[in-house]
Amino acid sequence: MQLDGARFLITGGGSGLGRQLALQAAARGAHVEVWDLDAAAAAATTEITGGTSQRVDVTDTAAVDAAAAAAGAIDVLVNCAGIVSGKSLLDASEAAIRRTFEVNTLAGYWTTRAFLPGMLDRDRGTIVTLASAAGLVGVARQTDYSASKWAAIGFTESLRAELRASGSQVSTLVVAPYYIDTGMFAGVRTRVPLLLPILKEAKVATQILDAIASGRQQLVLPPLARVVPALRVLPVRAFDVVMDLFGINHTMDHFIGRGR
C-alpha cells in the first residue's frame, strides 16, 4: 500500500491513537478523513492534517451510510473508535455493556459494509481493525471490553478468509496492542514493564502505518503478547498461573480512564 496519496478514513480520529494515526498518515502524504462523535475534536484534528472531518455516531447504521456516501472512495479504513468501562461484570450497567459492543465490535461491521463494496469494485484497499491484546486473553474488570475485542479479532479473521476465498486483492490488518498511554486506560499498571510496557501512542501509530504500507495482516504489541495463543496448549489452571505471574488481572486495579 502506497501511503502517499492514499485516502484514509479513521474513526475515533478526534483524540488518542486515532488522532495520532491521522497526523502521521497526513505527514506521509495521505488525505485523511476523520470521523468522531465529538465534532469539535474531529475538526481540531483536521486543522492540523488539512483533511476533512464529519461528526458520525459509528453505532448508527443510517449515519454511517450517509457519511460514507459523502466521503466517497477510500483506500484505507481504520476502525479505531473504542470505549472501555473498566468495571466488573456486576458493577457494569446493561447500557454500558451494550455500548461497549456497539462501539468496539458492531461499528466495525457497519463501516466495513459501507466501504468494502467500493474496495471490491476497485480490487484494492485495506480494512484495519484496532483490537487489543485483551482480545487474546480475558482480563479482570474487562468482561465487556475483552470480549468485544475477541469479537473484533474474529471478525477480521473471518473477513480475511472471505476475501482470500474470493480471490480479492483487498486486505485486512488486525492490531492487538497492550495498554497504550492515550488516556483511555489512565491508571493501569504493569508488573513487568520491561516485557509488557505501557506502549507509547506515537510509536504504536508509526508501527500501524508501517504495517499497512508493508501489507502485514496482523500486528501484536509488544512481542511477548504474541506468545499468548501458544500458551493455550497449557491446562487452564497452568495458563491462569502464568497470567497471574505477569500480573495481568491486576492491571486494572487502579484504572481511572477518561470516560471515552
Per the DSSP assignment, residues forming a β-bridge with 175 are 130, 219
Residues 6+ apart with CB under 8 A from 50: 26
SS3 127: strand
Map grid coordinates 497471574 to a residue: 244
Q: Is 145 among the catalytic positions?
A: yes
Q: What whole-number distance in Å separates Cα of residue 198 and Cα of residue 196?
A: 7
Closest listed residue to residue 129, CA positions, set 114, 144, 145, 150: 150
Closest listed residue to residue 182, CA positions, set 160, 203, 154, 164: 203
Within 123-231, residue ranges assigned H as helices are 143-166, 201-214, 228-231
Q: Which residues are catalytic?
A: 145
